[in-house]
Structure formats: structure tokens, C-alpha cells
Amino acid sequence: METSLVKNLTEKICCNRMLENISHACKIHNDPFDCPDHLIYKSKKNEFGIIIHDGGSSFIKIDYCPWCGKRL
């Protein structure tokens, strides 16, 4: 991931675990919805969600970090 983007995300994300999951880059899958290791999705509207790996592009919107509990 681009260094400036990681720095920008780091300033806005609540914890390292969330940052790791949002910035996950798979060498096999270009689309996060295709990658079984990509757990959290961040939309362009700054919504966060847990990806539903069912072959589509669905996610369950979350308002709190699943690791530290802070409001997103």
C-alpha cells in the first residue's frame, strides 16, 4: 500500500488490528470480496463493515471496532 495512504489511515484508524485488516493486500485476489483473508471493508463513504464471503460484494456495517471497541 502506498506510504502516504498508510500514514493517512494510521491517523484515522482506532487500532493496529483494524489498520492491518483494512490495509490487507492479497497477492492473489485484487478484489477484497474475493479474498478469504480480507475481513474488514472500508467504503468510499467511510463506512466500515465485515465482509460476507458468499461470492458477492456484501458486508455488514459496523459502528465499533471489533478489536478495541472504539467508535468508528
Each residue's pLDDT tens digit, 11-66: 578 999 999 998 899 999 999 999 999 999 999 898 999 999 999 999 999 999 99
Q: Is the pLDDT of residue 8 over 80?
A: no
Helix (H) or strand (E) holding 61: strand 59-62
Q: What confidence score (pLDDT) does residue 68 get?
A: 95
pLDDT category at 2 given cuts 50, 70, 90 is very low
d(CA 48, CA 45): 9
Query: What is the distance of C-alpha 36 from the center of its chain?
Result: 13
Residues in a beta bridge with 50? 40, 60
CA distance 6 to 26: 16
